[in-house]
Amino acid sequence: MLRRIDLRGEKGPLTGQLPRPDPGGGAPSVAVRELITEVRDSGDRAIRALTMRFDGVDVEVPLVPQEDLKKAWQSLEVAMADALQVAHDRILYFHEQEAQQPHVVTREGIAVTSVPQPVERAGLYVPGGLAAYPSTVLMTALPARAAGVEQLALCTPPNSEGGVEAVVLASAHLCGITEVYKIGGVQAVAAMAYGTESIAPVDVIAGPGNIWVARAKQEVAGTVGIASAFAGPSEIVVIADQSCPSTSAAVDLVLQAEHGPGGRAWLVTWDETYADEVEAAVKQIVHLSPRRSETLDTLMSDGYVCLVDDPETAVRVANEIAPEHLQLMCADASDFARQIKNAGAVFVGIWAPASIGDYLAGPSHVLPTAGTARFSGALTVDDFQKRMHIIDVSKSGFDAVLGSVDRLATAEGLWAHAASVRERERWAEQGVIS
């Protein structure tokens, strides 16, 4: 079930020795562009046709009435409502604490205030179809709320009856979202980016999705901001040894693989006997899983056992893979955590399964995939803000930098730049300004 990669004895660079995902392999860019163009040109009519084509339901009006969101919340069992509230409060608290407040840097009479300005409108994509993901509603909406975004529009694919699961609508209500659209896939990304007759365009799009959704977000980048990096199918790397029960390592491999095809699951260990035990446990767990088909799709296509000489090489492997989720379930895990450079989220110790991060640890579970953790991180309040700088210059500050600005502008051949400071110097000498 899991393919073996034996790197024991390997001391050189790992680049090229580990299989890498092909983010565009399942979603040709040409096909994605054609779908985006169709929505851009035909608006609501294209949305309805594509929803019928891909989801198999005819949705005449994609906007879910606000009263349905409230009813969905009221219909939840108390235990489920409590669980959502706990997750909501922990996630919102984390992002509110992480949100950077305006700060002022003053030097020699020049004060620069750095002000985080939220975008006015954000689009949230919540996957559907194979499962309902109320957690993704929380993980996308709450960072935006903490950033100060006032308008949130959420798109999620309709189910086979043409509706949206009640728990997803209830989560949207809990987060104060009033716009929920029954639209999925490339057409949802295009609708949020360019707008239609009934959907206003957004400034930023956030949220994970399959390979087609991830590719579509890349295509519209520049028209809108794309929060986080390539948030595609789920991935996990588990670094473990005999200090962790083999069944715990196995179930943690399965917990991300059960999201379905397109993801990746890696076990990295320096103990071949332990690797055999974990793989046997994976087979047993998959057999018991209600999502056996989706899990097998991931494990058979991109499930790996990587054998290395020691923990240090395991860390090198993890940094080369740059996974979405990385679990360290080995002796001295905390020490190795400090050596990790490339990962969306790192879970340290046997008490930290990725599921805790997926639901309520605080940080968003919208994380970079397909190796993009090399240059990107988790969805945060920063993805919904842009920095605006307010520059206040006193006379003493002007005098301190006058000569430098003049020389730099002259060196670049920008006459008016130099003149802008020379004129002010002349006005001051004549007493026109002070």
Helix, strand, coil percent values for the chain (each to nearest 5): 45, 20, 35
8 A C-beta contact, residue 259 and residue 346: no
Q: How confident is residue 351, by pLDDT bands cut at 50, 70 and 90?
A: very high
Only one residue has tokens 């990962």, namely 343
- Dig out the tokens for 374 from the structure: 């090399």
Q: If you average pLDDT over residues 312-330, what whole number do you get?
A: 96
Q: Which domains does the chain have, with CATH numbers?
A: 29-227 (3.40.50.1980), 232-374 (3.40.50.1980), 394-429 (no CATH)
- pLDDT for residue 366: 93
Q: How confident is residue 352, by pLDDT bands cut at 50, 70 and 90?
A: very high
- pLDDT for residue 262: 79
- pLDDT for residue 27: 58
- Dig out the tokens for 384 from the structure: 């919904």
pTM for this structure?
0.90
- pLDDT for residue 233: 81
Question: What's the mean per-residue pLDDT of the chain?
Answer: 94
Give the CA diameter of the chain. 88
- pLDDT for residue 11: 84
- pLDDT for residue 26: 54
Q: What one-letter code names the amino acid at 40? A: R
State the catalytic residue, choosing from 324, 365, 412, 429.
Answer: 324
Q: Using the predicted structure, report yes or no on whether residue 104 has a pLDDT greater than 60.
A: yes
Q: Using the predicted structure, report yes or no on whether residue 229 has a pLDDT greater than 80.
A: no
Smallest Cα–Cα separation from 282: which of 260, 256, 308? 256
**Distance (Å, rounded) from C-alpha 328 to C-alpha 302?**
20
State the catalytic residue, choosing from 88, 95, 259, 325.
Answer: 325
DSSP 331-376: TTHHHHHTT--S-SEEEESTT--HHHHHHTSSS-S----TTGGGT-
**Distance (Å, rounded) from C-alpha 96 to C-alpha 214?**
27
- pLDDT for residue 330: 96
**Distance (Å, rounded) from C-alpha 175 to C-alpha 124?**
12
The upper half-sphere exposure of residue 221, i.e. CA atoms within 13 Å in the direction of its Cβ, equals 13
Q: How confident is residue 130, by pLDDT bands cut at 50, 70 and 90?
A: low
- pLDDT for residue 102: 82
- pLDDT for residue 29: 86
Residue 203 CB contacts under 8 Å (≥ 6 apart), including other chains: 119, 120, 121, 122, 224, 225
**Distance (Å, rounded) from C-alpha 306 to C-alpha 199?**
47
Q: If you average pLDDT over residues 424-433, what whole number do you get?
A: 92
Q: How confident is residue 404, by pLDDT bands cut at 50, 70 and 90?
A: very high
- pLDDT for residue 374: 93
- Dig out the tokens for 205 from the structure: 């799009």
- pLDDT for residue 107: 94
Is 325 considered catalytic here? yes
pLDDT in tens, 279-293: 999 999 999 998 898
User: Terminal CA-to-CA distance of the chain, rounded, Å?
Assistant: 78
Q: Order the strands of the 151-156 sheet from edge to edge.
A: 179-182, 151-156, 121-125, 204-206, 225-226
DSSP state of 122: E
Residue 31 CB contacts under 8 Å (≥ 6 apart), including other chains: none
- pLDDT for residue 47: 98
pLDDT in tens, 24-79: 555 578 999 999 999 999 999 999 999 999 999 999 999 999 999 999 999 999 99
pLDDT in tens, 360-381: 999 999 999 889 899 999 999 9
Spell out where 372-412 has E strands: 385-393
Is 324 considered catalytic here? yes
Angle (nearest 5°) at CA 167 between 162 and 170: 100
DSSP state of 68: H
- pLDDT for residue 23: 58
Q: Which residues lie across from 151 on neighbouring strands?
A: 121
Residue 249 CB contacts under 8 Å (≥ 6 apart), including other chains: 238, 240, 267, 278, 281, 329
